[in-house]
């Protein structure tokens, strides 16, 4: 898959995936980067999925690029264990 004129052998950058997605969905880049709880943003979800699957980026890298805050979370099992 070729993103924004990049060489086929190179991994596309997250920013190039965002740029192409914004053009494809005819939305502005801030609307792709902005996530609001309770509002469905299908172009954003698809762009994030493209960054992960064919793009090969980790979820942490994608979260950082999209401004997703990391929330500390412990499973109920881990929370019940000391230490």
Q: Domain boundaries in the chain? A: 14-67
Q: Please tell me the predicted confidence (pLDDT) of residue 10.
A: 78
Q: Please tell me the predicted confidence (pLDDT) of residue 15.
A: 94
Tokens at 57, concatenated: 């980026």
Angle subtended by helix axes 42-52 and 14-25, to nearest 10: 150
User: Which pTM value belongs to this model?
Assistant: 0.69
Q: Please tell me the predicted confidence (pLDDT) of residue 54.
A: 85
- N-term to C-term CA, the chain: 46
The DSSP letter of residue 10 is: S
Q: Please tell me the predicted confidence (pLDDT) of residue 5.
A: 54
Q: Please tell me the predicted confidence (pLDDT) of residue 57.
A: 93
Torsion 76-38-61-11 (CA) sign: positive
Low-confidence ranges of the chain (pLDDT < 50): 1-2
Q: Please tell me the predicted confidence (pLDDT) of residue 28.
A: 92
């Amino acid at each position: 898959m070729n993103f924004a004129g990049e060489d086929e052998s190179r991994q596309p950058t997250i920013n190039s995936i965002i740029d192409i997605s914004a053009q494809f969905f005819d939305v502005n880049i801030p609307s792709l980067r902005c996530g609001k709880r309770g509002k469905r943003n299908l172009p954003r979800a698809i762009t994030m999925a493209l960054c992960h699957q064919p793009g090969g980026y980790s979820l942490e890298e994608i979260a950082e690029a999209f401004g997703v805050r990391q929330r500390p979370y412990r499973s109920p099992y881990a929370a019940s264990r000391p230490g």
